[in-house]
Amino acid sequence: MLRFFNTLTRQKEVFRAIEPGKVRMYTCGPTVYDAPHIGNYRAYTFEDLLRRYLKYRGYAVTQVMNLTDVDDKTIRGAQRAGLSLQAYTAIYKRIFFEDLRTLNIEPAEYYPAATEHIPDMVALIKRLLERGYAYRADGSIYFRISRFPDYGKLSHLDVRGLQSGASGRIDSDEYSKEDVRDFALWKAWTPEDGDVYWDTELGRGRPGWHIECSAMSMKYLGPHFDIHTGGEDNIFPHHENEIAQSEAATGMPFVNYWLHCRHLLVNNQKMSKSLGNFYTLRDLLDKGFKPKGIRYALLSTHYRQPVNFTLEGLRAAESAVQRLLDFMANLQTARGSGFDVEPLLQQTQARFEAAMDDDLNISAALGAIFEMVREVNRALAQGQLSAADAQQVAALMQRFDTVLGLLTPEEAPVSDTVRALVRERQAARQARDFARADALRERLRELGYLVEDTPQGPRLKRL
């Protein structure tokens, strides 16, 4: 029986879908102001594992992942880059989707962008105003936490303790709040927002971050759905606020199972740009690491354990993936007889499923697979594995791989020649030798690449 640790109840619970055979789940997605770092991908890889295992177990999954494309960070970033908000966030949306493909993360069914759902958020805020859960102050609108006695049930915080000043986050423009704990649903336009605002029934302004996830999850999944995921840093205040907004508006329970993954450390330290241990996916690819190794490194630690990410660990992850790939190749050579593989297959599948059923115990699941690999390799080496049995082993490995996503071939890396041409073209552009730059672009096209010039420099696309 499939069981998950539910942050709401602080225990492992048997998973029961609201509608038999179907799972509706929501995942907090990226704020598209920067290239995500590998800590972000730890969360997205965990959610991918969850999604893939639900499908393995026969559920039809509808997953929604939002794109936060308006908030303080995106607005400031666009202003600094001298771009419109839309042009600026488009860059990071594209990087995000490229990274998902690189890491073999299955696409969600919906990727709603906040800026395309302002009317849904306005409608939800209006409902909260009508029901007395929200109030206006100086043009902004706030959620009235004192009206929602369940506030704190997810984070298990005693929120009565969060009195004035205790939260340490009093914005100068929020002095007008009734209670310091109250959070903004709608932020009135200020000059710093520049041309980023919407003129709505609520006034001129923009939505708060929390309301975005309530509005978009309920739009695509209904007011009450199965699973909500995120990183542990989302629990408070973001998910606590989502529950308050959604349940106050509908009077219904919002989500049945809340799953949160622990953070990622680099060399046992919090990742930060100042410590020099901050990696984006691209940083690792530029160091020559392979996507499947990175995927393995991110998903092979149980999601409720912190991942300690190191380059040595990444090399070990790459060799684990290579062992699996070599194994698949070796199976093709089986021509022997004398080994009955059937009991081993049954046992391995049972162990894999029991482990994954137990709150996605990936380490035990991988342990079962590698044990099978060792046994079958031994039979292969002794010439005891028949071609038919080898095919059965390969079929089971492929079935496991619908969950792991490690065996599909990597895209060939970009060659040094192509990289050199890109650098040469960039130099020509900087020297304003556009004829030469165009000629180099043409040569790259002949080699099968399209060069796109972005504010971050040239980007290659395979034709």
With respect to Zn ion, which residue has the nearer C-beta, 231 or 293?
Answer: 231
28 forms part of the interface with Zn ion (CB under 5 A): yes
Task: Give the one residue of 196, 213, 321, 334 binding Zn ion; rule: CB under 5 A.
Answer: 213
DSSP string covering 350-366 = HHHHHHHHBT--HHHHH
With respect to Zn ion, which residue has the nearer C-beta, 255 or 373?
Answer: 255
Q: CB under 5 A: which stretch of 109-117, 178-186, 213-221, 391-399 binds Zn ion?
A: 213-221
For residue 213, the minimal CB distance to Zn ion (Å) is 3
Q: CB under 5 A: which stretch of 73-81, 156-164, 209-217, 369-377 binds Zn ion?
A: 209-217
121 forms part of the interface with Zn ion (CB under 5 A): no
With respect to Zn ion, which residue has the nearer C-beta, 28 or 437?
Answer: 28
CA distances from 271 to 39, 40, 52, 278 (A): 8, 11, 28, 5
Q: CB under 5 A: which stretch of 43-51, 121-129, 207-215, 251-259 binds Zn ion?
A: 207-215
With respect to Zn ion, which residue has the nearer C-beta, 208 or 291?
Answer: 208
Distance separating alpha carbons of residues 38 and 265, to the nearest angstrom:
10
Residues 6+ apart with CB under 8 A from 147: 132, 133, 248
Which residue, among 400, 406, 408, has the nearest Cα to 348 in the 3D structure?
400
Distance of CA 93 to the CA centre of its chain: 13
With respect to Zn ion, which residue has the nearer C-beta, 239 or 302?
Answer: 239
Distance separating alpha carbons of residues 426 and 250, to the nearest angstrom:
55
Answer yes or no: are the C-beta atoms of 44 and 81 closer than 8 Å.
Answer: no
For residue 230, the minimal CB distance to Zn ion (Å) is 6
Q: CB under 5 A: which stretch of 5-13, 151-159, 205-213, 333-341 binds Zn ion?
A: 205-213
Residues 356-415 contacting Zn ion, CB under 5 A: none
What six digits make up the tokens of 174? Answer: 């929020």
Q: CB under 5 A: which stretch of 21-29, 71-79, 266-274, 400-408 binds Zn ion?
A: 21-29
With respect to Zn ion, which residue has the nearer C-beta, 28 or 255?
Answer: 28
Start-end of H helices in 103-208: 118-130
Answer yes or no: are the C-beta atoms of 413 and 420 closer than 8 Å.
Answer: no
Binding footprint of Zn ion on the chain (CB under 5 A): 28, 213
